[in-house]
């Protein structure tokens, strides 16, 4: 069995072993750098309020204070904050999958007039930083054109902006392009409408890439701060990333770190348990044809 970028034959050579163990050391170092913030937040939540400021790295607490996590859970009202976050992120992800899949299918299979220019327009938006259009976006949410509706302090004010993602549309269109045309043509010969082809042929074949989009969108929306902070000013509706900053200053740093680690858990666990779907989704498109 070949190991990564080296075959068994290369691995038996002196240079091959040097390359292999060098790569292991580099990847191990990168893994430590990536995991260090999570580990530091976890252990800091187990320390006393003064122990955190002790000179030196001091990763491990002298006496683990597990009650810090219980106290942070109750004082910060974590169930409500996590519930708000799941409502905001869940609705955004579902709308984004719906809009992105429909748009990608239209551009890939329905071939609308000017579809290439439409796709180019989507890709151009990826070059514009989100901070550049945050003011016009806020004004639009405050008073939606034509219908004159104020979406501030409403989850629709964050669901709708998150529902359109040019990157997700581009990825799904590329995947839909690789679905064999013979399958879709056979369904059309049997009398299937474009909507039926989309629901019963395209979506089931694209389940892996849809899971990838779902995971990436969930993580990105969960950690976003600026748009939810601008739109959701009601403390009862704010997600954990916004509300935690407002209430954490009234408590010790150890409780802040404990609450921060709890806030990290949902996207971290989703990324860990669904990573195999990400590998399948990212590689499946390369073997179709």
pLDDT in tens, 152-190: 999 999 999 999 999 999 999 999 988 888 888 888 888
Do the Cβ atoms of 103 and 169 come closer than 8 Å?
A: yes
CA–CA separation, 258 vs 70, rounded Å? 9
Distances (CA, A) of 244 to 73, 199, 204: 12, 40, 39
Q: Which tens digit of pLDDT belongs to each residue from 46-58?
A: 888 778 777 777 7
Task: Among 10-24, 66-80, 213-227, 236-250, name the one with the lowest average pLDDT.
Answer: 10-24
280 or 18, higher pLDDT: 18
Look-up of token digits 């390369």: 286
Q: Is the pLDDT of residue 20 over 90?
A: no
User: Which of these, 203, 212, 209, lies nearest to 270 by C-alpha position?
Assistant: 212
Task: List the Cα angle 122/126/128 in 5-degree steps.
Answer: 115
**What integer pLDDT is reported at residue 63 of this predicted model?**
84
Q: What is the mean pLDDT of residues 244-269?
A: 84
Give the CA count within 13 Å in the CB-facing half-sphere of 279. Answer: 5
Average pLDDT, stretch 127-145?
A: 89
Q: Which tokens go with 268? A: 């971290």
In this predicted structure, the answer to whether residue 286 has a pLDDT above a threshold of 50 is no
Q: Tell me, yes or no, if the pTM score tops 0.85.
A: no
* Rounded Cα gap, residues 168 and 269, in angstroms: 22
Q: What pLDDT sits at residue 30? A: 92
Write the CA distances from 106 to 102, 219, 252, integer angstroms: 6, 27, 53
- Using 50, 70 and 90 to split pLDDT, how confident is the model at 6? low
Q: What is the mean pLDDT of residues 70-98?
A: 93
pLDDT of residue 289: 41
C-alpha span between 242 and 228 (Å, rounded):
7
Residue 288 has pLDDT above 60, yes or no: no
Query: What is the rounded average pLDDT of the residues 218-239?
Result: 91
**Closest CA relative to residue 255, chosen from 71, 120, 127:** 71
pLDDT of residue 163: 93
133-136: Cβ within 8 A, 24+ apart: 134/226, 134/227, 134/230
Instruction: Give me the CATH topology for the region 78-287.
Output: MetI-like fold (1.10.3720)
Q: CATH 1.10.3720.10 spans which residues of the chain?
A: 78-287
């Amino acid at each position: 069995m070949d190991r990564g970028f080296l075959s068994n034959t290369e691995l038996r050579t002196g240079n091959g072993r040097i390359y292999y163990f060098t790569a292991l050391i580099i990847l191990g170092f990168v893994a430590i750098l990536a995991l260090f913030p999570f580990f530091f937040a976890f252990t800091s939540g187990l320390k006393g309020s003064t122990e955190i400021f002790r000179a030196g790295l001091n990763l491990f607490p002298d006496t683990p204070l597990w009650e810090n996590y219980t106290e942070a859970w109750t004082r910060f009202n974590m169930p409500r904050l996590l519930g708000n976050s799941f409502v905001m992120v869940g609705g955004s992800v579902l709308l984004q999958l719906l809009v992105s899949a429909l748009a990608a299918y239209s551009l890939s299979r329905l071939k609308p007039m000017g579809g290439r220019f439409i796709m180019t327009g989507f890709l151009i938006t990826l070059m514009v930083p989100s901070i550049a259009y945050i003011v016009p976006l806020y004004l639009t949410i405050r008073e939606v054109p034509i219908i004159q509706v104020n979406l501030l302090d409403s989850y629709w004010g964050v669901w709708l902006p998150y529902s359109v993602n040019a990157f997700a549309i581009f990825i799904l269109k590329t995947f839909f392009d690789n679905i064999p045309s013979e399958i879709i043509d056979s369904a059309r010969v049997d009398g299937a409408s474009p909507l039926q082809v989309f629901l019963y042929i395209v979506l089931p074949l694209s389940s892996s890439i849809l899971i990838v989009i779902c995971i990436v969108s969930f993580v990105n929306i969960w950690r976003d701060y600026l748009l939810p902070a601008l739109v959701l000013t009601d403390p009862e509706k704010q997600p954990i990333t916004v509300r935690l900053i407002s209430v954490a200053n009234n408590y010790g740093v150890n409780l802040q770190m404990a609450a921060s680690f709890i806030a990290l858990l949902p996207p971290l666990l989703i990324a860990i348990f669904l990573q195999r779907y990400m590998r399948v989704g990212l590689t499946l498109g390369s073997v179709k044809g």
